[in-house]
Amino acid sequence: MNLKNTTERWGAVSVILHWIVAVLIIAAIIMGIWITRLDPEVALHRKIWATLMPLHKSVGLAALFFATVRLVWYLATPKTHLPPVLAPWERVAATIDHISLYALTLIVPVSGWASSSSVGAETKFFGLFTLPNLMEKNEDASRFYYDLHWIVAWITIGLLAVHIGAALWHHFLKKDRVLFNMLPVIKNPEGK
C-alpha cells in the first residue's frame, strides 16, 4: 500500500487517519450517550460523570485534531476515484455521505467545545493542558451550542450507520472491492 492516495486506492496515511477518526468519533459518541443517561441525583452517577465528561471532551478534541489533519491530507493528495461498479445514484449518495461526514467530524467537536465554553467550564486535553474557551460564559449561547452538539451528534450517528451499512452491503451483497479500498494492509480480490 502506498503512503499517498492513488486514483485507484486510498493510501496508507488516508486509511490510518480514517480509522483513527472513526474510533475516536465512535468512542466519543458512546461516552456522550452514557453521560446523558446519568442521573445527577445519584452520587455514583456524579462520580462517573466527573470521569467521563473530561474524557469525552479529550477524545472529541483528538477527533477534531485528526479529522483536521485528514481533511488537509485529503485536499493535498490525489483523489481516489469512486469505483466504476457504482451506479450513478450510489455515486451521488457516497459523495453526499462523505462530504457530510467530513463536515460533521469538525462540527460535532467544535460545537461541544463551544457548549463547554459557554457554561464557563474548562476544556482540558487528557489533563495535559487547558484549551482556551471559545467565548465568555453565556446562558443563551450555552443552550444553543448544547442543542447543536446534541443534534449534529445524532445526525452523525445516522450517517455513520448509512456509511457502515453501505460498506457492508458492498462487501457481502454486491461482493465488490469498495470496502477493501479503506482496509489497511488487506489485499482485495483483484490483488490491488
Write out the DSSP string of 31-87.
Answer: HHHHHHT--TTSHHHHHHHHHHHHHHHHHHHHHHHHHHHHHHHHHHSPPPPPPTTS-
Which amino acid, one-letter code, is at 136? E
Report which DSSP code applies to 183.
S
Which amino acid, one-letter code, is at 171? H
Q: Spell out the domains of the chain, with CATH numbers in brackets.
A: 12-182 (1.20.950.20)
User: Could you tell me how far CA 192 lies from the centroid of its own chain?
Assistant: 27
Percent pLDDT > 70 in the chain is: 96
What is the average pLDDT across 141-148? 96
Average pLDDT, the chain: 92
Which of the two residues, 161 and 176, has the higher pLDDT score? 161
CB atoms within 10 A of CB 62: 20
Q: What is the pLDDT of residues 33-90, one digit of tens each?
A: 999 999 999 999 999 999 999 999 999 999 999 999 999 999 999 888 888 888 999 9
Residue 7 is predicted with a pLDDT of 85
| Residue found by looking up cell 470496502 in the block | 179
Sign of CA dihedral 150, 152, 156, 157: positive
Residue 6 is predicted with a pLDDT of 86
- How many residues appear in the chain? 192
Find the angle CA(110)-CA(113)-CA(117) to the nearest 5 degrees: 135
Find the angle CA(180)-CA(182)-CA(184) to the nearest 5 degrees: 85
CB atoms within 10 A of CB 40: 8
Q: What is the pLDDT of residues 81-125, one digit of tens each?
A: 888 888 999 999 999 999 999 999 999 999 999 999 999 999 999
Residue 183 is predicted with a pLDDT of 83
- Identify the helix (H) or strand (E) that includes residue 123: strand 123-125
Residue 25 is predicted with a pLDDT of 97
- Identify the helix (H) or strand (E) that includes residue 124: strand 123-125
**Alpha-carbon distance 130 to 127, whole Å?**
7
